Structure 1
C-alpha cells in the first residue's frame, strides 16, 4: 500500500513529502513547535492529494462512438468521446490518451483542466483507414492530477470499439465476352419470358434426331417437325484465384501490388456474384472461407469480410492451391497474379484445361515499388516470358502496371474476349 501510494506521487509531491518528514524530524530534535506545524502540512498535502485523485477516478464515465465503424481503405472515420465526471471533489487536471493502432493514425492526446466537481465534455478526433484489416480502438487511458500537481493516478477503461478497413470495391462493366457463357449442350439458355417456353426448349428436326424427341405441340403450331433440345448443362460458377505469395508482390502499404490484387479480386467477385455466379475464392494457401448463401448481398458481404482479413503468405508456388482446389471442370477461372515463374505457368496451364474460359490479370509488380527495390533484369525477363507462355496456354491475359485501375483491366479483358 505504501509503495503504491509513493508511485502515485508526482516529483513535486515526493519533494513535499520528503521535505516535510525531514523538517519534522529537525523540529522534534530542536524543539521548534511552530515550524513543526509547517512540516506536518507539507506531509499532509501529498497524502490528501492521493485521496482526492483516488476518489475522483471512481466517478469518471466514458462512451466512444465511431462513425462509420467500417470504411474502405483510405477513407476517414470520426471518433467521438463523451466524457462525464460526477462527484463534488474537484480534480485539477485530467490527461487523456486513446489507444489507436498506428494503422488508423496517431494516438489522440488531450487535457481537461477544471476545478468543477461535476462536468461533461464531448471530444471528436479523426481516424484514417491507412491499412486494410480489423482493429480495436481503445481502451481510453486517463491520468488524474490533483489541483496542486502533487499526486496522479492512471486509469484505463475497459471498453473498446472494433473498426473494419475493407478493400476498395470498384464498379466493373457488365458481363460480356470476358466471362464466356459457362454452358455446354446445343445452345446457351435464354431467359424464359422474353420468348415462349416452347421456343426455348425445342428446335427444328435434323437428320439423325431420335423421333421420340419430337415435340408434337410445336410441330402442329409451326407446320414443321420440331424436336426437344438436348438437356443443357448450365453452370454459372467461377473460381477466383488470388496470388497471395509474399515473394510475388512488391511495394508497401496502400500502394503495394498486393493491395491492388486484393481490391481486384474483391471487385471481380462482387461483380460476378451480382451477375448470378456461384463463387469460390482461392489464395496461395488454399480455399478462402466465404458464404454459400444464395442471397447476393450475403455472398458479397462474406467475400468483403474474407478479403479484409487476407494477408500474404510465405508459400513460393501456386501448385498446391491449383492442384487441390481448382479441379472443377466447365467453370470459369479468374486469376489475379503477381510475379510468375515457369512452374506457375505449368500449373496454370493444367488448371485451365476443361474450363470454358481462363482470365488472368498479371501485375507488373516492379512498377509498384521504387527502382532500388526492383527485381534483377533476369527475373523481369523471365516474368515477361511466363506471361507470353500463359497467353499461348489459352489464357486471356492482361498486364497491369501501377496507376492502372481495376475497371480498366476488366474492360481490357472484355475487349480481348470478343467472340470467345
Structure 2
C-alpha cells in the first residue's frame, strides 16, 4: 500500500489575490458590477442610501474572495492506493481524505482526481460543508486490462463560498503510481532438469571447505553435530567452532521473451504478444517458487531484474522485480535473436524456457544455436497468423510452421505450439511429457493446430 502525504502548502501560488479575483463566478461578477454602478450613481445623484447599498453589493463578493483564498491554503488532501501492484484485469481501490485544518468551515467542495483514461472515468465527488478540524473520506476503484505504470494525481479541489460568489481551484502535488502487471497462472509441477529439492535429485551442492586450510568455520549452535567441530579454529578463536554444512547451489534458469515487433500481429489484451508476456511472467513466478535462480532475457540481449536483486533476494522480491519490469515491456524494433544468442554464449547446464513469435529460416537457425548453449530448453512457439481475427492460416503458412517446429525439435528444443485461447498450464504439462517422451516431429499436438 502506498500513501500520498498531505499536501498542505505544496501547491504554488497562482498570482495571489489576482488569481483569486479570477475565480469570481457570474453571480459574484454581477454583484461587483452592480455595486460599482450603484456607488457611481449615488455619487452623481448625491444619494447616501444608494451609496451604502452599492458598497454592500461590491464588498460582499470581495469578502468572499478573501475568505475563500485564505481557506484554500488551510485544506489538506491525501491519497492511499491499495494495492499498488495488481494483475491486468484486477481492481485497485483509491482512498482520498480531506482535512479542514482551519478554524473556519468550508463551503461546498468538489474533489477530483486525475487518472489516465485507460483506468476508467475521472472520479469526481461533491462534499458538503466541512466543519473546522473535520475530515471527509471517499474512495473509488480503478481497473485496467492493459499492462503498464499509470500515474494517479494530482488531486484537485474546487472550493465554493456559501453565497456562490467565488470558486477557486487547488491542486495537491502528492501523486501515486499504479503498476498493472501481467496476468499469471499457477503451473503444475513437472520434472525439470536441475530441479530444486523436493522435485528431484538434480540439485547441485557445493562444499564450504576444500581442505583443512580452506575451512570456513562458524560458531557452534545448539544441536550441531559434534563430529563437525573444527578444533584448530576452536583453539584460535577461543570458542567452539564447527565446519559449515554443504551449501546447496540454486539451479539456474533463463526465461527468454521474444519481443520483436515483426514476430507478432495484432494488439490488445488478447493478442499473441500479451499471451507471451503473461506466459513469461507465469513461468518466472513458478520457477522462483521451485527454488530456481531466474534471469529474464529479451531478444535485444537485455537482462531484466532477477533473483538476488531484491534486498534479501527472496523469491517474492525477485518475482516482484521481474513482474514490474514485465509491466512495461514493449515491442522491440529488432529483427532477430542474435543478441540474445550472444548473451547466452557459453551458457552451461541451466534450463532455458523461451516464448517465441514468428521466425523465418534464419531465426530458426539462431534458435538452434541458442539451444546448443543451454543444458535443456523448452520453447512455446506462437504463430501470429493463427492469432488473427478469424484464427486461421492458409496451407502454405501451416506447412511453414510445421517445418519451423520440426527444425526446433531436431535441434534439441522441447517445442510446443501455442494457439489462440491455449491455457499455459496445459502447455506446461505437455512440455513435461514431451521431455520425458519426445513426440515424432510432424505429429499433431493437443495444444495447437500445427506441430
Q: TM-score, normalised by structure 1?
A: 0.78
Aligned equivalents of 2:128, 2:167: Cα separation in 1: 14
Residue 331 of structure 1 aligns with which residue?
350
SS of the counterpart of 2:21?
helix
SS of the counterpart of 1:100?
coil
Structure 2 matches for 1:81-160, cutoff 5 A?
81-114=96-129, 116-160=131-175
Residue 315 of structure 2 aligns with which residue?
296
Aligned equivalents of 2:114, 2:164: Cα separation in 1: 25
Residue 267 of structure 2 aligns with which residue?
252
1:376 CA drift (Å): 9.2
Aligned equivalents of 2:96, 2:316: Cα separation in 1: 33
1:241 CA drift (Å): 0.8
Greater relative contact order, per chain length (Cα 8 Å cut-off, separation 6+):
1
Q: Does 1:14 find its partner at 2:29?
A: yes
Q: Is the 8 A contact 1:71 1:129 kept in 2?
A: no
Cα deviation, 1:206-236, whole Å, max 9, x if unaligned, reads xxxxxxxxxxxxxxxxxxxxxxxxxxxx993
Residue 213 of structure 1 aligns with which residue?
none
Residue 377 of structure 2 aligns with which residue?
358
Aligned equivalents of 1:52, 1:130: Cα separation in 2: 45
- Over 3 Å counting, the alpha-carbon distance change for 1:332 and 1:77 in structure 2 is same
CA RMSD, aligned part only?
A: 3.0
Cα deviation, 1:323-372, whole Å, max 9, x if unaligned, reads 23454144332110122222221210111125332211012334545359
Residue 45 of structure 2 aligns with which residue?
30
Aligned equivalents of 1:354, 1:159: Cα separation in 2: 49
Cα deviation, 1:243-282, whole Å, max 9, x if unaligned, reads 1122322343332322221121122122223333332221
SS of the counterpart of 2:186?
coil
Q: Does 1:390 find its partner at 2:408?
A: yes
- Over 3 Å counting, the alpha-carbon distance change for 1:42 and 1:370 in structure 2 is farther
Q: Is the 8 A contact 2:65 2:166 kept in 1?
A: yes
Q: Which runs of 5+ in 1 are unaligned?
A: 183-187, 193-233
**Aligned match of 1:43 in 24, 49, 58?**
58
Residue 258 of structure 2 aligns with which residue?
243
Cα deviation, 1:280-324, whole Å, max 9, x if unaligned, reads 221122232323426434433332233233222222222222223
Residue 405 of structure 1 aligns with which residue?
423
Aligned equivalents of 1:32, 1:73: Cα separation in 2: 72
Residue 168 of structure 1 aligns with which residue?
183
Aligned equivalents of 1:38, 1:366: Cα separation in 2: 80
1:142 CA drift (Å): 0.2
Aligned equivalents of 1:172, 1:163: Cα separation in 2: 26
Aligned equivalents of 1:291, 1:395: Cα separation in 2: 24
Residue 340 of structure 2 aligns with which residue?
321
For these two proteins, the number of residue pairs brought into alignment is 371
Structure 2 matches for 1:369-388, cutoff 5 A?
369-371=388-390, 382-383=400-401, 385-388=403-406
Q: Is the 8 A contact 1:364 1:402 kept in 2?
A: no
